[in-house]
Amino acid sequence: MRYNKPNLPLIKLTFTCKYCPRMTDNIKPIQKILFGCPGTGKSYKIREIAEEQLNITFDSDTKILKNTVKTVFHPEYTYGDFMGKLLPLTQGTNVMYKFYPGHFLKVLGMAYRGLIEGNNEHYLLVIDELNRGNAAAIFGTVFQLLDRESDHWSSYEVDVSEMELVGLLNSMGYNPKVKTDGSIKIDENGTENPFDKFCKELEIDLKNKSNNNGLRVLELLKQNKISIPQNLSIIATINTSDESIYYLDSAFKRRWDWQYIPIDVNEAEYIIAIFKTNLTKGKEVILFIPSYFDIEIEEYIFEKLNWIKLINDINHIIKINSKTIRKIEDKQIGVWFIKPDEQGEIPLEQVKYKLMFYLWDSVFGRDKNPLEEIISKAVKKEIKLITYDDFVRHTEVFLMYLYDN
């Protein structure tokens, strides 16, 4: 008798241990600066990196990245905004002082709590316009933490003050209380335990779960120290075309990976720009639509343009005038320099007062001759541009001439 082996489905068994320390799915933390021309989509690139490389989810309803803290550097931004600051709090006739964690301390606390809980999630700090603030002064001693070892933790540790420790514990979701004698107690369900007791109980729990990363975090807290952990990434953007920027020294630069975001013409080749006048509303807009749409709209008068070609034409004019334009790479514009609304419309006024002003003030700020030559050729008579108003009055003529030539 011959036995025929049945074709049984292959069953794959996967065993997981919720108490074992994990390397956040072997995700390597990112410490990167994105740079490129205005409108190239640096902000969107951050979201793409967060989703694809860090496994951080994006909520399409709230438009928020999970586990992410965002900030924007500016000339008035300080170390206190980054790490935390003590601010007065009025309660009736009494004035109390409360420590408010800064953006870095907030995300660090989130990452530390994630390691203690073993939740296998990654966390992200986003710094927009990094060089519009004094980055060296803002980072302060945190600058030392940017060097990382092969295990993706910081190579060094830095001390934090008692106030910063309290702010960090608060960011971790604990409820620290500072007593009049200066001691720290953790409020757990109405019971205040001394910080030492809290640490001992947590240490026993982490050892039972073999959570080495959590134990590492706990040891840092006990010593009033901090270190950037393996589950925390930092992504920053810089805008080198901005005139009011701070210099980033070489020591600061070398601690980051750098990624140039080019003008990606391929991603938006399908976009058509249409100068459109709504006859019923008297509204002038530029309409962005896919090129395969068949447009039959009776209440509109429009002039069809290829947006990519128009952008390339403008960038070409910028390039051929490189002798009079400083930092020419930063002066070019990207496809998303002006973003359309949900209807795919951009008011023509926005084109006049953003794109045209950018060309007038930032690109050709030192020499208006190239602009005068283009408009003079377009209207076939000599034009002198004394004021911005002289230039913006010729918006349609200027753009159409570039497009046709």
pLDDT at 92: 78
Q: What is the pLDDT of residues 226-256, one digit of tens each?
A: 999 999 999 999 876 655 578 888 889 899 9
pLDDT at 21: 40
Average pLDDT rounded to a whole number, residues 315-335 = 85
Compute, in degrees rounded to 10, the torsion defined by CA atoms 257, 262, 266, 269.
Answer: 140
- Which region among 26-35, 80-89, 278-287 has the lowest average model confidence (pLDDT)? 278-287
Distance (Å, whole) CA 340 – CA 342: 7
Distance (Å, whole) CA 388 – CA 242: 20
Average pLDDT score, the chain: 83
Residue 285's pLDDT band, with cuts at 50, 70 and 90, is: low
- Which region among 152-161, 236-245, 349-358, 363-372 has the lowest average model confidence (pLDDT)? 236-245
Q: SS3 of 283, please?
A: strand
CA–centroid distance for 185 within its chain:
36
Average pLDDT rounded to a whole number, residues 92-102 = 85
pLDDT higher than threshold 60 for residue 298? no
pLDDT higher than threshold 50 for residue 354? yes
Contact 205, 222 (CB under 8 A): no
pLDDT at 294: 52
Distance (Å, whole) CA 391 – CA 394: 6
Average pLDDT rounded to a whole number, residues 24-36 = 83
pLDDT at 16: 40
pLDDT at 265: 56
- Which region among 196-200, 206-210, 221-225, 277-281 has the lowest average model confidence (pLDDT)? 277-281
pLDDT at 346: 74
pLDDT at 23: 44
Provide the CB-side half-sphere exposure for 167 (13 A, CA).
27
CA–CA distances in Å: residue 180 to residues 129, 177, 199: 41, 10, 21
Percent of the chain clearing pLDDT 90 (strictly above): 46
Look at phi and psi of residue 127 and say left if phi exceeds 0, alpha if psi is from -120 to 50, else beta.
Answer: beta
pLDDT higher than threshold 80 for residue 403? no
28: DSSP letter: P
Six token digits for residue 211: 């959570």
CA–centroid distance for 138 within its chain:
17
pLDDT higher than threshold 60 for residue 292? no
pLDDT at 114: 97
Q: What is the pLDDT of residues 179-217, one digit of tens each?
A: 877 789 998 777 888 999 999 999 999 999 999 999 999
Q: Which amino acid is at 347?
A: P
pLDDT higher than threshold 60 for residue 3? no
pLDDT higher than threshold 80 for residue 259? yes
Provide the CB-side half-sphere exposure for 85 (13 A, CA).
11
pLDDT higher than threshold 70 for residue 300? no
Distance (Å, whole) CA 346 – CA 220: 52
pLDDT higher than threshold 90 for residue 288? no
Closest CA to 166 of 145, 185, 188: 185
Q: Cβ neighbours of residue 29 under 8 Å, at least 6 residues apart?
A: 122, 148, 152, 230, 231, 232, 233
Contact 247, 137 (CB under 8 A): no
pLDDT higher than threshold 60 for residue 402? yes
Cα 238–241–247 angle (5° rounding)?
Answer: 60
pLDDT at 296: 54
Six token digits for residue 139: 């980072």
CA–CA distances in Å: residue 341 to residues 127, 238, 271, 287, 344: 25, 25, 14, 9, 5
CA–CA distances in Å: residue 185 to residues 106, 193, 202, 399: 20, 5, 14, 66
Taking the complete model, does pTM exceed 0.85, yes or no? Answer: no
Q: What is the pLDDT of residues 134-175, one digit of tens each?
A: 999 999 999 999 999 999 999 999 999 999 999 999 999 998
pLDDT at 213: 96
* More confident of the two residues 308 and 389: 389
pLDDT at 191: 81
Highest mean pLDDT: which range of 7-11, 87-91, 103-107: 103-107
Question: Other C-beta atoms within 10 Å of 313: how many?
Answer: 18
pLDDT at 240: 64
CA–centroid distance for 389 within its chain:
34
Structural domains in the chain plus CATH codes: 24-261 (3.40.50.300), 266-404 (no CATH)
Residue 55's pLDDT band, with cuts at 50, 70 and 90, is: very high
Q: In 183-254, which ranges are E strands? A: 184-188, 191-194, 225-226, 232-238
